[in-house]
Chains A and B, each alone.
Chain A
Amino acid sequence: MSTQNGHIDAAGKKMGMWFFLFTEILFFGGMFLLYSIYRYKYAQDFHNAAAEENIVLGTVNTAILLTSSLCIALSISAIRRGERYFSSWLQLVTIVMGVAFLVIKYFEWMAKIDIGIYPDSPVLLKMAAGEIIFFGLYYVMTGLHGLHVLVGCVVIAFMMRFTMRQTIHRGNVARLENTGLYWHFVDIVWIYLYPLFYLIT
């Protein structure tokens, strides 16, 4: 975006990104709303169902995602100092951590599917109503969050390319900053998902 006199309006770009994040918050907000209502309705079932979750993997994932958020923040500071290579390395580390998060998530999902817990499965349908809802929410919320992580990884890959080609540089960091904002948002959503699914039991 450029203003009337041809300068790039970094503040305008950032404003647009914040607006986009508002819409994302409301998107996830719909899910958190369902969660809170069903948690209230089926408190005991949620407590029982959460015992199925693998708290070790969940905690490892939380640590990975938090560290990756640190990396993207550092990469922005690096590019501000003009350290192009260091910045792209940090972006690469962020992507690797994002992928690691998804791989761990994959194993978590697979472990559950192996014992027959997935939406509409015969095993799940025999469970209590609240447990059906709990696992439904688990798959939908972590699934959509995972999708956001995946999108984030792809976007950061593009940013790496831009950084190497120097279209992102000391004087023009708006795109990388916006990517960072997005990545922090994905991180923050996980910070809420973690206690709601792993720690409530």
Chain B
Amino acid sequence: MAQMNETPEGASFYARTGRYRWAIVEWMMSTDHKRIGVMYLGALLSFFSVGVVLGFLIRLSLLSPGWLVDAQTYNEFFTLHGVIQIFLFIIPGIPVAFGNIFLPILIGAQDVAFPKINRLSWWLYVTGALIILLSLFAKGSPPDTGWTFYAPYSIRTPANISTAVLGVFVLGFSSILTGLNFVTTIHRMRAPGMSWFRMPAFPWTLYATGWVQMLATPVLAITLLFIVLGRFFGVGFFDPDKGGDPILYEHLFWMYSHPAVYIMVLPAMGIISEIVPVFSRRALFGYVAVCMSALGIAIVGYAVWGHHMFTSGMSDTARVIFSFITFLVAVPSGVKIFNWVATLYKGSISLDAPLLFACSFIFTFSVGGLTGLIIGSLAPNLHLHGTYFIVGHFHYVMFGGAGISILAGLHYWFPKITGRMYSERYARIGWLNFFVGFHILYFSMFVLGFQGMPRRYFDYPPQYHTGHVVSTMGSWFLALGLVIIFGNLLYSIFRGQKAPADPWGGKTLEWTIPSPPRSENFREIPVITRGAYPYDEEEVRKTP
């Protein structure tokens, strides 16, 4: 990797500063937002691979229940799959990795507002992750409650819930600090001339996400603390024996965890909003509407948590209101979808890997969003709640939304982060496998769920067998696709061709500096005189 240290314009941010003897110490002690982002990215993708392997094993076990793992191990597998993918990968995901690397660059700053707090939140992330790993290997059995830790089972099970929950608590702290840091950065650190409405869409979505991180995560923190207090001191806020109410746990949990869905998906939308204009050579259509809809989603998203609990016991009035507000969220999401498609319309499209992934996002996310409306309305929800339909919907929006956009972002920003180009051919082959496998895997879950297959079950009656086999076969294609995608990227880090500063013709600030960037982002702070996507529309239309 020595080649990465040098760029045409001097040492890159990978170059050793020589302040510490060991490279790993130097990186862990670094407050450079790009280094922190790269470390986050490495950690996230490692956890993602573990999560994928667990998911793969779950699917494999469902081919013929019992041939691979027993029922208790199965419960532990899906709990770990959920905990890892949700809390270690997708919630921190885009903000901590791409946000850290690119937010300051995109707004023309040298670093985030509080570099030391940024480093602290990275340390907290590592600590939280280690605590969660501890819950797997410590004495006793790994958590088996599902990632939601529903009370009262989570208070009574002998598994290592306290350790896992404590890890999530620490991760929450890390998430809060990142959100706080980014919102302050966007308020205080924009380059001269970078007014709010000259900011690219990605910082806008990070801004909305930052607020959600700050205002939702503390509620999860206190809720999880109640679980720990319940287990250690017997405080029974959710224990019916002691006058507590388990439904309250669900309310508090989803009061965080529904907005958390937007922590995952808003910055994903931001990445797509960056990619689509660049590869269609057009300004982002309805830029202001796209930015405002991010705020809209963040605000409305606070008031919909009840739709996770339609069958848990709530008054009819509450259910109707929650269902109605759930439909409202579809409006700003729809605004975004239409604006991306309108940006593509009559653009000069070059269908490179980043745009392929971005278009897959638009498609899968639309499927995920529309099925969300089916389960957001009361009558079908009673039928579909707790079935594979939910699992299908959830993976369409999370994996097909946030997950695919991370892949899109990886391919889009890979040249900037590593200073290397990847093989376009293998990126496309990987994408094709992934995309086909994804839909076989998760679409069959919609069918299974509609037929009544309950989620989380280890075993099933014979009529669901075909559906499960089809779904599992999809997971093989998907896994193959991921292997090709990541194999290609890993190979290119070492053997790829040198990337120019601006391989895609992007107009945002990160493409004005060398690939990979220097330690200080800008020699001179840029003065911004125009909007984020200054494409010459007339020029584009003339080209055949």
B43 contacts partner chain A, Cβ-Cβ < 8 Å: no
- A132 touches B (CB below 8 Å): yes
Q: A1-B114, A23-B218 are in contact. Are A34 and B248 (CB under 8 A)?
A: yes
The listed residue with most B CB atoms (<10 A of its CB), out of A3, A11, A19, A27, is A19
Establish whether residues A133 and B242, one from each chain, have CB atoms under 8 Å apart when the complex forms.
yes
* Interface membership of A107, Cβ < 8 A: no
A120: Cβ under 8 A from any B Cβ? yes
CB contacts (< 8 Å) of B252 on chain A: these are 30, 33-34
User: B217, A23: Cβ atoms under 8 Å?
Assistant: yes
Q: Which residues of B contact A109 (CB under 8 A)?
A: none
Q: Which of A26, A38, A125 has the most CB of B within 10 A?
A: A26
Q: Are B243 and A16 in contact (CB under 8 A)?
A: no
Q: Does chain B have a CB within 8 A of A12?
A: yes
**Complex-state Cα separation, A23 to B218, whole angstroms:** 6
B525 close to A (CB within 8 Å): yes
Least Cβ distance of B79 to chain A in Å? Answer: 24
Say whether A42 contacts B243, CB under 8 Å.
yes
Given contacts A24-B218, A120-B235, contact A19 B244 (CB under 8 A): no
Contact indicator A16/B114 (Cβ below 8 Å): yes
Q: How many residue pairs bridge A and B at CB < 8 Å?
A: 100
Contact A22 B214 (CB under 8 A): yes
Distance in Å: Cβ of A128 to nearest Cβ of chain B: 8
Number of interface residues of A (CB under 8 A): 37
Does A85 count as interface, using CB distance less than 8 angstroms? Answer: no
Say if the beta carbon of A20 comes within 8 Å of chain B: yes
Measured between beta carbons, the chain B residues less than 8 angstroms from A130 are: 243
Closest A residue to B238 by CB, please name it: A34
Whether A120 contacts B234 in the complex (CB less than 8 A), given A1-B113, A24-B218, A133-B242, comes out as yes
C-alpha gap A42/B191 in the complex (Å): 56
User: Which of B182-190, B331-339, B427-435, B470-478 forms part of the interface with chain A?
Assistant: B182-190
Closest to B244 in A: A133
A188 within 8 A of B: no
Q: Kindly state whether residue B221 has any CB partner on chain A within 8 Å.
A: yes
Q: B188 near A119 (CB under 8 angstroms)? A: no
Q: In the complex, which residues 108-140 of chain B have their Cβ closer than 8 Å to any Cβ of chain A? A: 109-110, 113-115, 117
Contacts of B244 in A (CB 8 A): 133
Expressed in whole angstroms, the Cα–Cα distance for A27 and B114 within the complex equals 22
Is B242 touching A19 in the complex (CB atoms < 8 A)? no
**Cβ-defined partner of B223 (8 Å) among A30, A42, A139:** A30
Which residues on A sit within 8 Å (CB–CB) of B189? 3-4, 12
Q: Is B233 an interface residue (CB 8 A)?
A: yes
A31 to B218, CA, bound (A): 11
Q: Please tell me which one of the listed residues A9, A29, A34 contacts residue B237 in the complex, with CB atoms under 8 A apart.
A: A34
Measured CB to CB, the closest approach of chain A to B118, in angstroms, equals: 11
Which residue in B115, B180, B229, B242 is a CB contact (below 8 Å) of A20? Answer: B180
Residue of A11, A28, A41, A132 most packed against chain B (CB within 10 A)? A132
A28 to B221, CA, bound (A): 10
Q: Which residues of chain B have C-beta atoms less than 8 A from A20's C-beta?
A: 180
A132 touches B110 (CB 8 A): no
Contacts of B513 in A (CB 8 A): none
What 1/0 flags go to B157-195 for Cβ under 8 Å of A? 000000000000000000010001101100111010000
User: Does the CB pair A23–B180 fall under 8 Å?
Assistant: yes
In the complex, what distance in Å separates the CA atom of A136 from the CA atom of B233?
10
Cβ–Cβ contact A132 & B243, under 8 A? yes
* The residue from B180, B218, B236 contacting A16, defined by CB atoms under 8 A apart: B180
Q: Per-position contact with A for B426-458: 1 when CB-CB < 8 Å, else 0?
A: 000000000000000000000000000000000
Known: A1-B114, A120-B233. 18 other contacts (CB 8 A): A3-B188, A9-B113, A15-B188, A16-B113, A16-B117, A16-B180, A23-B176, A23-B214, A29-B218, A30-B223, A34-B248, A34-B252, A37-B248, A119-B235, A120-B234, A132-B236, A133-B236, A136-B235
